[in-house]
Amino acid sequence: MVELKGLPGFRDFYPEELAARSYIMGVWHEVALRFGFEEYDGPPLETLELYTRKSGDEIVQQLYEFEDKGGRRVALRPEMTPSLARMVGARARALQKPVRWFSTPQLFRYERKQRGRLREHFQLNLDIIGESSVLADAELLAAGIEILKATGLNATQVRARVSDRRVLAAIFRHLGVKEDTLEDVYQVIDRLEREPRGRLEARLEELGLGPEIVSEIVATTELRGLDELRAQFGAVASVAERIAELSVYLEHLEDLAVAEYVDIDLSVVRGLAYYTGIVFELWDARRQLRAICGGGRYDDLLRIIANVDMPALGFGMGDVVLTELLREHRLLPEFRRSIDCFVAWMGADAGRQALRAAQVLRSAGLSTVFEFRERRLGSQLKSANQVGARFSVIIGPEEVEAKQARIRDMSSGDERLVAFDQLARVMRDEANGA
């Protein structure tokens, strides 16, 4: 029979890989809670329409969609934001604002095979709903950067690239781009780093834009830093207004001690169609991998999905690129199997006593395994080392007779005898380093 394999783009998590994932999830939870966010979750399967309303073409083309047995068009969630908008929208009045929520869903997208992109991934989503102040934008990016800091990544290793769709819109309108073409222009710019320049210019021209406007759009995406932006468009009142807000934003980031990670980079627009304001992506500084994280303000999505007017902003940070980057910089903690006690035994009576010992130790909260087969003590101690036991509890005929157990510290090799009815207490003290 042919061996059955897993699907391409879907991962098996063997214990070591799961430990890496748990570590990253642990950092996500810790920082999210430290920033005062509450955890929520939604269903992995949603109506297809939740995504076709506003997420944009690219993600809709990647959907795992089908008809369920009740004849509904449904899709596995490719992102969390529409579910969040639906959930918050449904209780908009009752919820205390601003809502600060986080979640770590597994998401599904039928992606082309490429480095850093799979067909499932876990993604931290951190969102603030019901707040229009730019302070919230700064807080959000600070939380994203704080996560990277917590893993040990520094400002030479990761960068935040920040842009603002309202700045871009003001510039493009000034250049003569029509309102209903703006979203299409963003979609082309989003592909800037993935496609050759000539192809992009052709795409912009296909939108009905003349060669002059096209080259000015391209030049705009090359602007870096507020000074360049000011020098180029500071005299245009509608742009100047937005530049002023961006500079307040940067000031807040400075106070939140993350400004050294941040670059203003107008080539970032974000691919998803619902963003309306400041947007950002976190990248490895050398840009050899895909984005680690992306997000921004999406003030219209709750109206589109749930018919309520609530400003919103958030980001998604995936586990795939982050794991790769941490591995590259040797920042993943070393994973060693570790348990408190291994119970070794010799002789039938000791075998029964070993089970009682394991039961007593586990009741005392100590992780414990026992040997399944009677073997030489040396082989049993070897197994104890293999499972990472800190202590072995050794029971042979003499120990049974004396109602004792021999405990062995596996790192020093020191042994001592303990009365069996004191075993749990002694081992608990030992394990706690008392």
Residues that bind ligand HAM (CB under 6 A): 79-81, 109, 111, 117-118, 121, 123, 125, 127, 272, 291-295, 298, 314-316, 318, 320-321
Q: Provide the H-helix boundaries in 151-196.
A: 165-175, 182-190
Q: 311 vs 351, which CB is nearer to ligand HAM? A: 311
Residue 59 CB, shortest distance to ligand HAM, in Å, is 7
- What is the per-residue burial (b if ≥16 Cβ within 10 Å, else e) of 333-352? eeeeeeebbbbbbbbeebbe
Q: 172 vs 298, which CB is nearer to ligand HAM? A: 298
Amino acid at 229: L
Residue 301 CB, shortest distance to ligand HAM, in Å, is 9
- What is the per-residue burial (b if ≥16 Cβ within 10 Å, else e) of 192-225? eeeeeeeebbebbeebebeeebbebbbebbebee
Q: 300 vs 349, which CB is nearer to ligand HAM? A: 300
Q: 282 vs 395, which CB is nearer to ligand HAM? A: 282
Q: 316 vs 351, which CB is nearer to ligand HAM? A: 316
Q: Provide the H-helix boundaries in 53-210.
A: 57-61, 81-90, 134-150, 165-175, 182-190, 197-206
Residue 41 CB, shortest distance to ligand HAM, in Å, is 14
Query: Residue written as tokens 């992009």?
Result: 200
Greatest CA separation for the chain: 96
Residue 362 CB, shortest distance to ligand HAM, in Å, is 39
Please state whether the peptide bond connecting residue 98 to the residue before it is cis, i.e. omega within 30 degrees of 0: yes
Q: 81 vs 163, which CB is nearer to ligand HAM? A: 81
Residue 103 CB, shortest distance to ligand HAM, in Å, is 10
Distance CA 200, CA 192 (A): 7
Distance CA 384, CA 73 (A): 53
Residue 241 CB, shortest distance to ligand HAM, in Å, is 24
For helices 225-233 and 165-175, the axis angle rounded to 10 degrees is 30
Residue 302 CB, shortest distance to ligand HAM, in Å, is 12
Q: 102 vs 345, which CB is nearer to ligand HAM? A: 102
Distance CA 257, CA 245 (A): 19
